[in-house]
């Protein structure tokens, strides 16, 4: 019977991976993804926003940038992470309980919008994070069964360190472990293996601290401004947005099953397994803290995604207790239907919806349409490349004329789809809080750019006044081209191209 479940899991992973590849190849990179692509251009120990692992993932999946022009390969690391994470969850539950529980865990993971799409298709810091997170859960299970195992503790310390090197939210794992040890396993504090794992963890994450030490701890100042509660004014709308987002991102039916599992566990209808308590010590504080912060500051629902993955083992064990649940219990079928509907409807809407879901007014055409984040950049970039070459052939611009932008978005989209194919630089002109990593990229790009003239490209769905924005940098700013973008035969967005001339290099210093 165990072999049958193993076969089912492998088929599920294969099917889900193929589906993810279709999605990854079928839509363009989102604004976060193209921004993280910039990480891969010059690897660092840390970046303004996040640790370095997502840049390493892109570098590896594009074969050292040889295939960076293909969205599928930029995202391939995410797809591989999702496949491996699914297998790890199955292996964990098969070892902890049964092959059936492992099968349910694999199904629940695949049905999660966060795990399957957000971290499983799109290339984000969550993509490597979720893989190392699942490795941590796997090695914690081994530790719970054999607390004296040096191998399990060392691999756990390394996995926890790499998890934090993917995204700082990984710190909830060692903190949850310490909470569990205080509550249930104080004898582990006497194990030398625990301290060896801690030392390995500290060594692996130390580059983040060293980089921030040399950069005035800018990462922590930036993120603390996002989550630190400075005044106790209730953000009710933000709280309900977080609650709804967690419910939606983790699949409503998954969350319902999880709630039922927690209730059954509380009523002692499930065995009080030590590892499930440990997983709860990691997940529940993370969910609670993010909900608490959302009462005062805006949060993002996908931040809690790993916590819900951590509770999938409990949910899977609960499913095995149901009377004749079959291969697919009822709610699990609905959960699978939700993820399939999301994938198919999303793919069709992004690529074929006629016109725009946003504003129709010419000046702000497409504003508010989130699907345009994933559509039309490549075709508009090709139109700009033709225009740029014509301008250069006419002698209107010198060689090395760059594109300039004041904010990381839409700078990263313009960088990947407009500048990279033509081989020109994108230079950031703005504050560090707006430019993010582009402030550092300026250091090696500015010397390659001829700033005597430049172009600024403003999508109609992004509110900006180029003539006012760059007046401090250039004496003359003219609208020289408008690129129309259509979807489903109808206009959905404009790209306005401005030529900037008269660089004020004597009075303005490049940020």
Task: Give counts: helices (H), strands (E), the chain.
Answer: 23, 5
CA 125 to chain centre: 5
Is the separation of the CB atoms in 171 and 164 below 8 Å?
yes
What pLDDT, on the 0 to 100 scale, is given for residue 373?
Answer: 97
End-to-end C-alpha distance for the chain, whole angstroms: 64
Low pLDDT (below 50) residues in the chain: 507-508, 511
How far is residue 8's CA from residue 78's CA, in Å, rounded to a whole number?
Answer: 22
Partners of 485 in the beta sheet?
Answer: 493
What pLDDT, on the 0 to 100 scale, is given for residue 324?
Answer: 67
Q: What DSSP designation does 415 have?
A: I
Sign of CA dihedral 294, 298, 300, 303: negative
Find tokens 């345009």 and name the residue.
372
Q: What DSSP designation does 493 have?
A: E
Is the separation of the CB atoms in 449 and 400 below 8 Å?
yes
* C-alpha separations of 220 from 113, 193, 224, 234, 238 in Å: 29, 30, 6, 24, 22
What pLDDT, on the 0 to 100 scale, is given for residue 497?
Answer: 97
* C-alpha separations of 390 from 304, 379, 395, 457 in Å: 49, 17, 9, 17
Side-chain half-sphere exposure of 146, counting CA atoms within 13 A: 9
What pLDDT, on the 0 to 100 scale, is given for residue 219?
Answer: 77
How far is residue 452's CA from residue 442's CA, in Å, rounded to a whole number?
Answer: 16
Three-state DSSP at 103 gives: helix
- Helix axes 312-320 and 274-294, enclosed angle (nearest 10): 130
Count of C-beta atoms within a 10 Å radius of residue 52: 22
Q: Which residues of 238-270 are buried (b: 16+ CB within 10 A; e: fewer)?
A: bbebbeebbeebbbbbbbebbeebbebbeeeeb
How far is residue 125's CA from residue 39's CA, in Å, rounded to a whole number?
Answer: 11
- Closest to 276 measured CA to CA, from 97, 397, 57: 97
The tokens for 198 are 């801690």
Query: Which pTM was predicted?
Result: 0.94
How far is residue 434's CA from residue 182's CA, in Å, rounded to a whole number?
Answer: 42
Is the separation of the CB atoms in 403 and 426 below 8 Å?
yes
How far is residue 228's CA from residue 237's CA, in Å, rounded to a whole number?
Answer: 18
- Reduced DSSP (H G I as helix, E B as strand, rest coil) percent helix, strand, coil of the chain, to 5: 65, 10, 25
Kindly report the length of the chain.
511
Count of C-beta atoms within a 10 Å radius of residue 225: 11
What pLDDT, on the 0 to 100 scale, is given for residue 227?
Answer: 52
What is the per-residue DSSP string for 151-219? HHHHHHHHHHHHHHTT-GGGGHHHHHHHHHHHHT-GGGGG-HHHHHHHHHHHHHHHHHHHHHHHTTTHH
């Amino acid at each position: 019977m165990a072999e049958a479940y193993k076969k089912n899991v492998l088929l599920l992973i294969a099917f889900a991976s193929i589906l993810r590849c279709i999605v990854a190849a079928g839509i363009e990179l989102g604004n976060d993804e193209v921004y993280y692509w910039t990480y891969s251009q010059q690897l660092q120990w840390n970046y303004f926003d996040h640790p370095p692992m997502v840049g390493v993932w892109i570098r590896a999946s594009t074969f050292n940038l040889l295939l960076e022009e293909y969205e599928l390969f930029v995202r391939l690391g995410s797809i591989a992470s999702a496949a491996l994470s699914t297998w790890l969850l199955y292996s964990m539950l098969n070892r902890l309980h049964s092959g059936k529980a492992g099968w349910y865990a694999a199904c629940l993971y695949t049905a999660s919008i966060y795990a399957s799409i957000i971290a499983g298709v799109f290339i984000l810091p969550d993509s490597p994070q979720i893989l190392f997170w699942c490795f941590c859960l796997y090695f914690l299970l081994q530790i719970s069964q054999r607390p004296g195992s040096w191998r399990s503790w060392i691999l756990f310390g390394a996995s926890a360190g790499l998890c934090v090197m993917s995204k700082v939210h990984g710190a909830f794992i060692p903190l949850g472990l310490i909470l569990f040890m205080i509550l249930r396993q104080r004898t582990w504090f006497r194990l030398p293996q625990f301290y060896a794992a801690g030392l390995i963890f500290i060594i692996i994450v130390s580059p983040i601290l060293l980089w921030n030490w040399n950069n005035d701890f800018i990462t922590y100042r930036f993120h603390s401004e996002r989550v630190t509660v400075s005044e106790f004014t209730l953000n009710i709308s933000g709280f309900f947005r977080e609650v709804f987002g967690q419910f939606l991102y983790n699949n409503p039916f998954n969350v319902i099953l999880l709630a039922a599992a927690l209730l059954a566990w509380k009523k002692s209808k499930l065995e009080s397994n030590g590892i499930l308590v440990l997983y709860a010590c990691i997940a529940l504080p993370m969910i609670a803290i993010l909900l608490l912060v959302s009462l005062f500051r805006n949060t993002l629902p996908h931040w809690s995604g790993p916590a819900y993955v951590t509770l999938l083992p409990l949910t899977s064990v609960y499913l095995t207790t149901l009377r004749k649940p079959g291969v697919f219990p009822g709610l699990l079928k609905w959960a699978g239907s939700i993820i399939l509907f999301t994938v198919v409807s999303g793919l069709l809407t992004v690529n074929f919806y006629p016109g725009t879901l946003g504003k129709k007014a010419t000046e702000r055409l497409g504003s508010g349409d989130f699907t345009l984040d994933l559509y039309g950049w490549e075709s508009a970039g090709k139109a700009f490349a033709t225009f740029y070459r014509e301008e250069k052939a006419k002698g209107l611009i010198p060689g090395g004329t760059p594109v300039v932008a004041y904010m990381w978005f839409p700078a990263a989209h313009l960088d990947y789809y407009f500048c990279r194919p033509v081989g020109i630089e994108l230079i950031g002109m703005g504050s560090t809080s707006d430019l993010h990593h582009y402030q550092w990229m300026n250091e090696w790009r500015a010397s390659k750019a001829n700033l005597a003239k430049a172009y600024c490209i403003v999508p109609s769905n992004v509110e900006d006044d180029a003539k006012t924005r760059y007046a401090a940098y250039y004496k003359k700013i003219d609208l020289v081209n408008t690129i129309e973008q259509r979807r489903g035969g109808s206009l959905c967005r404009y790209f306005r191209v401005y030529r900037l001339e008269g660089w004020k290099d004597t009075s303005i210093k490049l940020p």
